[in-house]
Structure 1
Amino acid sequence: MLNLNEIHKPTTVQDALKFLQQPDTVALAGGTNLIAEQRRDVRAVVDLSGLGLAYIRESSGAIVLGAMTTLSALNDSPILRALANGVIAQAAHRSAASILRNQATLAGTIIAEPDGILAVALLALDAQVTLVGSETRQIAIENFWREGAAKSLVTEIAVPIKNPRAALHTVARTPSDQPIVGVIASAQIENQVARDVRIALGGVSETALRASAAEKILEGQTLNDAVIENAVGAMHASPLHPRGDYRGSAEYRREMAIVLTRRAVRELIT
């Protein structure tokens, strides 16, 4: 933001949207990614901290997370630590170093890092995103990445209180680094039989995605080594086309997605 001239600090979502219609103007949430980018095209920012969007609460069968809730708040939340083996809290912890978790926000993180482990957690738990623009609408998180949020603001994210069993596995260069690849498996387990199976992957595509072929094989089955290996084997033929970088080649990312899926699914029955 080398050419920044104006900072707007609205107190309502509608005022924020009006400011965002101006050219060369972007939203400022936690600012951790925006500041690091040092964009020359940004001349004004809209500070969203005054909109009252930092909260974690239960409502209508869901846990509702305000868009401006910090990663630290997600990590520390007793409500989230009790939901689905705490995978959202774990994901928030692994998304950034402690000094950044106090500033980085929920919405800012999933927008800047749509393939990151926090995005993976929300996808695995069937999260719904509320967007406010010319109208207010709620969409599934996978559709949010597909459709984008042009001329809209993310105000909150709702996670259904189904409370499945869930397991998170990642690989990173060091324990404090962001995951190179992350996998979260979730399912309702009764007598070793899996229902409502969801396996979400990160670090293998532009956005978090589901391992649909593996999910179909596991759905309704008694989970054992043979069934799990059959499901993992289906991933070899799945459309995983990761981009390699200095942290991990495309081949490495693909193979680790398969390895981590095996570990995560096995953990569901241990």
Structure 2
Amino acid sequence: MINIKEYIAPESIEKAYEVLMSRSNNLILGGCGFIKLDCKSIDTAIDLCNLSLDYIIENEKEILIGADTSLRELEINNIIKNYCGGVISSGVSYIGGVQLRNMARVGASVFSRYGFSDLLPPLLVLEARVRLYRGGIINLKEFLDKEYERDILLEIILPKKEGVAVFDCLRKTSGDFSIINGAMFKGKDGDYKIAIGSRPERAKLAVKASEALKDGINIDRALDMAAKELDFGTNIRGSKEYREDMCRVLVKRMYDRVGDYCDR
């Protein structure tokens, strides 16, 4: 059960940060789609709805996604659907139902670093960056590897890239959490990026396997490299051994798909 003592919707990011830091039990609210996964008491719940962070803006070099943008908007927005094969739109389309995607927010999904997130693998292979109020702009990979620090995520920054990316996952039923998920990017220069998530830990890049594919290593060897360089665990959705085997399956399926795209 979640117990919220006070709710506020500040008119400025400075005020939101001030309230956040005033007590250890104060918390930024996202769409609250997964808040019932935990049991806690919140002194002050801080809603960012008045800070104009609901946007998707494209410029010559980047696509900017505000933290208060819904996952549903990522799914249907034409800028995102046309970006690198629509991998982000594809990834979030698996998350729950339309009602949940209308509630869930980009900032909460990324800042919470959920292990089961279907959004993190595509963002990782696309070399996304995050803009934090106090922490500034850092690579998503660095952000995920860092120890948790209290801050406010303002936006996601996607670099314009020439290439295509795909998302894939395994789940028991439509709308369920992924047993394992992943994304792969292939650039026009032959560069590869592979990320595997729901291990059941948060998504992580398979760096050695990615470099091996770029260097022309046989795909079968690359599959083994990806499965061995990443750590897998067991939970109620699947065993460590199953996830390790399915990692090979996902990487091969994604490899075949990006090859098809780039050959068109």
TM-score in same-fold range (> 0.5): yes
Q: Of 227, 247, 258, which aligns to 1:257?
A: 247
Distance in 2 (CA, whole Å) between partners of 1:77 and 1:2 is: 33
Q: CA deviation at 1:196?
A: 2.3
Match of 2:213 in 1: 218
Give the Cα–Cα distance (whole angstroms) in 1 for the partners of residues 5 and 165 of structure 2: 46
1:202 aligns with 2:193: no
Residue of 214, 220, 241 corresponding to 1:229: 220
- Gaps (5+ residues) in structure 1? none
RMSD: 1.8
3-state SS of paired residue (1:269):
helix
Aligned to 1:7: 7
One-letter identity of the residue aligned with 1:126: E
TM-score by length of 2: 0.91
Asked whether the equivalents of residues 205 and 241 of structure 1 are also in contact (C-alpha less than 8 Å), the reply is no
Counting aligned pairs with the same residue, the percent is: 26
Contact 1:97 1:177 in 2 (8 A): no
CA contact (8 A) 2:111 2:153 kept: no
What TM-score do the two structures reach when normalised by structure 1? 0.89
Amino acid at match of 1:84: C
Q: Could you say which residue in structure 1 is the equivalent of 2:110? A: 110
Superposed, 1:114-133 pairs within 5 Å as: 114-115=114-115, 116-133=117-134
Following superposition, the deviation at residue 220 of structure 1 comes to 4.3
Whether the 8 Å contact between 2:63 and 2:160 is mirrored in structure 1 is: yes
**SS of 1:216 mapped into structure 2:** helix
Going from structure 1 to structure 2, the CA distance change for 1:130 and 1:149 (only over 3 Å counts) comes to farther
- In 1, are the aligned partners of 2:200 and 2:235 still within 8 Å (CA)? no
- 3-state secondary structure, aligned to 2:17: helix
8 Å Cα contact 2:130-2:137 kept in structure 1 = yes
Separation in structure 2 between the aligned mates of residue 237 and residue 36 of structure 1, nearest angstrom:
30
- Where do residues 50-89 of structure 1 align in structure 2 (5 Å cutoff)? 50-89=50-89
Q: Counterpart amino acid of 2:28?
A: A
**Residues in 2 aligned to 1:5 and 1:235: alpha-carbon distance in whole angstroms:** 46
Alpha-carbon offset, residue 126 of structure 1 = 0.3
Change (3 A) 1:129 1:51: same
Do 1:131 and 1:149's aligned partners in 2 also have CA atoms closer than 8 Å? no
Equivalent residue runs for 1:161-176 within 5 Å = 161-176=160-175
Unaligned runs of 5+ in 2: none
Q: 1:197 to 1:265 in 2, by over 3 A?
A: same
